[in-house]
Amino acid sequence: MKIISRFIIVVLLSISASSFAFKAKENLHKADSTDNKTVNIIETKIDSLIGIMTLEEKIGQMNQYTGFWDVTGPAPKEGSAATKYDDLRKGLIGSMLNVTGAEQVRALQKIAVEETRLGIPLIIGFDVIHGYKTVSPIPLAESASWDLEAIKKSAEVAALEAAASGINWTFAPMVDISRDPRWGRVMEGAGEDTYLGSKIGVARVMGFQGDDLSSKRTIAACAKHFAGYGFAESGKDYNTVDVGTSTLFNIILPPFKAASDAGVATFMNSFNELNGIPATGNSFLQRDILKGKWNFDGFVVSDWGSIMEMLNHRYVATGKDAAELALLAGSDMDMESHLYIEHIADLVENNEVSIGLIDDAVKRILRIKFQLGLFDDPYRYCDPNFEKETIGSKPVQDAVLDMAKKSIVLLKNEGNILPLEKSGLNVLVVGQLARDKTSPLGNWRLGADNGTAVSLLEGLQKYDGNNYTFIEGPKMFDEEFSFPKEIKINNNDLTGLQEVIRAARNADVVLLAFGEHAFQSGEGRSQSHISLPGVQQEAMEEIYKANKNVVLLLHNGRPSAIDWADKNIPGILDVWQLGTQSGNAIAEVIYGDYNPSGKLPMTFPKSVGQIPVYYNHKSTGRPKLPAPDEVFWSHYTDIDNEPLYPFGYGLSYTTFSYSNLNVDKVENNKVTVSFEIKNTGKREGREVAQLYIQDVVGSVTRPVRELKGFELVNLKSNETKKVTIQLTENELGFYNNDGKFIVEPGDFKVFVGGSSKTQLEGAFKLD
């Protein structure tokens, strides 16, 4: 066995020993002769390897198991862990997930490389969603920065730490658009907007993958969950998805296409059915669109057990049928269903699936392994010294702190209660979350250790000119929690409230660290209530009676319905779950050393009953009140149509004004829009200038507004800058119901300003 293995390696190396420089896909296909040569060399290597693989070994490449000591989903079949080592030795595993650490990965890789017949290295996957050991804000929070460079950097340092710990593939970015804050996984995405979501998805892909996938500082990315997962009915995780073609083509698919165009190495399909067909068995999605129209040449991994779950969907009757349909539909790798390994050989031998399909899937998987440089050096990601010097290093900490500050959103600041003076104040800090060093790490941070975030209390200590009193008050959550289990919330015990109320009477300002624990959002954690959990609303109202100078530091992994707080509490900062540097970032914003600049990537409803409420809705046939007191228009009788905070909203410690909107040129479906923005306040600040269009009449009805451009503008007090944004056919067109991208002539409106509700309006016409 060893002799054959060495022989194969010699043949492969003789074709080329140079490592492969991965470029974004468009670069890869450029007529650059060096790149073409490298691509051809890899393709030749893949062909020669495929030529000597047995059917069993090919199926092995399509099989992915979770590690032996950790699971992120339902535990594997009993006893199966024991057989995994055997499978590994037989070459029946192409990938593992949830194995981390340079030493541990090296040990596994050694078996794959030295003990299997062909020595094909494993690709090691992990959910590096918003950081590995050092954690960035949850992705929804990062998205509130609208800062593509900072987001890219955040993914870059996450990749660096992960790569140093043996991981070479992350299951991120999640580019699922969602309009339902009840869905727990909104914390993992970029919010409700397709345009912003596409840009952020691409920034994350570029951050993870860099421009050289074979570098030991980068890892392969994975656009997930293909497709529609964010449209689960009633926001309940894993639920049915039934959407029309217009929503599918215009809202759900574009971020995936953008990731594919940017050269994302892999895709993950999803648990949900889409219009009656489970996504995992959906060849319209995976074959026609992804691998067909979009020409995607990486591989598709199933979601955890999603091939097997097609039985639960009652789409197939047997595991064998599930394997067959998933394969036919374009799912290349089976994550933890164990069905490919059980059934594909039979399916091929009985001519139910062709060997051509298997070869295509295996080639795709090998291609990424070659691009990662694993054939040149299977231990490239397994250097314990590099791991030690990288984890938690200064550049990583700096990047996550920068990201955390930029993610905070100032929702209300009546009477300029914020920023606080740095000395002479008696500050009362309330709430279990203020001392918590784990919840800020967010839900999807499997690699990080509990208790490693800087708490709010620790962050505040650096501003030692004020006098702090911390009283925890009523318990909010039970500190015994774990990733797969539900967290227990205190729904009735107000013990400790009276002590807070007494202290509040003597405080100059009260900082309320209230909101959700990180384990109230994330996978499997949808909620029917999105207001302050447990007894917090009642406690807040009582504390407010004792002292009106309250700042609510709102912790959340989703938009929250905080109508009462908005009406009463003077200061509200959305501090999400901000990661390892959380407390430092919040303190800097509270004291004005960082002027908040975040803007909401998702609408905040007043009440759950308004959901779905999103800015780019349609007009309907009855958009307006026809006459006083008549009911015949699209509305509720018990609440207005306006959300609490619209998409794109966020305040600053300074103010900005917009003027001189010009549509400068309309030529060949290219439009140049310019406008001026002035800092009209006293402090330096940063504004996210946003541009929306309305295509006034469409052959498929168009949304009332659509984000089509934005720019981050830093302005000193009184400074004015001109912003110019180009709109091309990419921004002006849309997909019709046949999935064809079209640009229609006619009138357009354009809006610019600091949120989706901006009123500064212009117009142009396309011929």
Q: Which residue numbers are catalytic?
A: 303
Helix axes 582-590, 394-407, angle to 10 degrees: 50
Cis preceding linkage at 419, omega within 30: yes
- Cα–Cα nearest to 134, from 404, 405, 447: 447
Alpha-carbon span 727 to 739, nearest angstrom = 21
CB–CB of 757/603 below 8 Å? no
CB–CB of 557/577 below 8 Å? yes
Question: Which residues lie closer than 8 Å to 514 by C-beta, 6 or more apart?
Answer: 430, 431, 433, 476, 532, 536, 539, 540, 552, 553, 554, 555
Structure tokens at 673: 């829009």
Tokens 């290349």 locate to 332
Binding mask 189-228 for ligand BGC (x = CB under 6 A): -----------------------------------x----
Nearer to ligand BGC among residue 70 and residue 493 (C-beta): 70
Strand, helix or coil for residue 225: strand
Q: 447 to each of 95, 100, 737, 749, how far by Cα in Å? A: 18, 8, 43, 47
Nearer to ligand BGC among residue 185 and residue 412 (C-beta): 185
One-letter amino acid identity for 115? E
Tell me how far, at minimum, the Cβ of 127 lies from ligand BGC, in Å.
5
The helix (run of H) or strand (run of E) holding residue 291 is none
Sign of CA dihedral 489, 492, 497, 501: positive
- Does 72 interact with ligand BGC (rule: CB under 6 A)? yes
Q: How many residues line the site for ligand BGC (CB under 6 A)?
A: 9
Residues 607-666 that bind ligand BGC (CB under 6 A): none
Binding mask 100-139 for ligand BGC (x = CB under 6 A): ---------------------------x------------
Alpha-carbon span 395 to 14, nearest angstrom = 39
Among 9, 35, 56, 73, binds ligand BGC (CB under 6 A): 73
Tell me how far, at minimum, the Cβ of 328 lies from ligand BGC, in Å.
22
- Does 303 interact with ligand BGC (rule: CB under 6 A)? yes
Nearer to ligand BGC among residue 39 and residue 97 (C-beta): 97
- Does 597 interact with ligand BGC (rule: CB under 6 A)? no
Nearer to ligand BGC among residue 219 and residue 689 (C-beta): 219
Where do the DSSP E strands lie in 668-745? 670-679, 685-695, 706-715, 720-727, 734-735, 741-742
What is the DSSP code (8-state) at residue 414? Answer: G
Tell me how far, at minimum, the Cβ of 185 lies from ligand BGC, in Å.
8
Strand, helix or coil for residue 590: helix
Nearer to ligand BGC among residue 97 and residue 323 (C-beta): 97
| CA-based radius of gyration for the chain | 27
Alpha-carbon span 186 to 182, nearest angstrom = 8
Tell me how far, at minimum, the Cβ of 266 lies from ligand BGC, in Å.
11
Nearer to ligand BGC among residue 225 and residue 380 (C-beta): 225
> Helices in 65-147 by DSSP H: which ranges?
80-89, 102-110, 139-143
Question: Which residues lie closer than 8 Å to 557 by C-beta, 6 or more apart?
Answer: 138, 140, 184, 186, 187, 442, 443, 516, 518, 520, 521, 522, 576, 577
Residues that bind ligand BGC (CB under 6 A): 72-73, 97, 127, 171, 224, 303-304, 523
